[in-house]
Amino acid sequence: MKLTGKIIINGKIELITGLHIGGSSSISDIGAIDNNVIKSVPLKSDFEGVPYIPGSSLKGKLRTLLAKEHGFMSVEEDREPVSTIFGSTKTNEISRIIVSDAMLDTVAFKEIFNQIEMEFQWTESKWENRIDRKKGSAKDPRQMERVPAGAVFHFNMIYDVYDDNKEDVHMHEIVRTFHLLEDDYLGGSGTRGYGRVRFKDISLKRRTITGYYKPKENQHEEDITSNYWINTI
């Protein structure tokens, strides 16, 4: 099986509801938030790191949704197309798709949110309780940190194209998982309404192997977005 090219998938993930993907579980100071979101290592000039969506979280969720669609309820059951797209140790298949961390659009964030009035620089907090079914009362209050609804993340994926004619089928499957995720959730506490997302400004471009032998300014990319995705306002 020979590598013949790559498909670059770029786009945005817009939060419809607050997103919580857990960060450090280290002991917090008294009065500090209980459940932090994952953030990048802060720069020397930053007070704190910037929230992001780990590529492993996004890839894992897409794989799970595609597996459910095909009736595979465990990783051990995964077969084509899940195993060939996302890889499988059982069948010794490598992952054809690379999913990078999705980074927060900090410029857009500052335009959308009034950071002076926010409790934290990039996030909000929300109190959660468990319900005692016997007493019908709330218990075990905890404070959850979330990236607020309206925030936008930039994502990038790279799909390896081989000479086995599976590109078209796999692209349709990958794009379908985007739509499935829009009606599901990303991160934790999804059944409580967290993590609803929308995919925007999707771009798919194909690069052939021969193009990689040319100077960068002469490399050709074929825009194949309209073959698989319809961008709407």
Provide the b/e sequence for 187-202 (b: ≥16 CB within 10 Å).
bbbbeeebbbbebeeb
pLDDT of 200 reads: 96
28 pLDDT above the threshold of 70? no
218 pLDDT above the threshold of 80? no
In DSSP notation, 62-82 reads: HHHHHHHHTT--SGGG--TTH
Going by pLDDT thresholds of 50, 70 and 90, the confidence category of residue 129 is: low
Helix (H) or strand (E) holding 169: helix 167-182
For residues 28 and 228, the model is more confident at 228
In the chain, where the domains are located:
3-121+148-228
The model's pLDDT over 54-70, given as tens digits with 9 standing for 90+, comes to 999 999 999 999 999 99
What is the C-alpha radius of gyration for the chain, rounded to an integer number of angstroms?
20
In sequence order, what are the beta bridge partners of 10?
A: 156, 203
Give the CA distances from residue 222 to residues 3, 8, 54, 203, 215, in Å, rounded to whole numbers and listed in that order. Answer: 17, 10, 28, 11, 17
The model's pLDDT over 66-112, given as tens digits with 9 standing for 90+, comes to 999 998 887 777 888 999 999 988 888 899 999 999 999 999 999 99
3-class secondary structure, 23 = coil
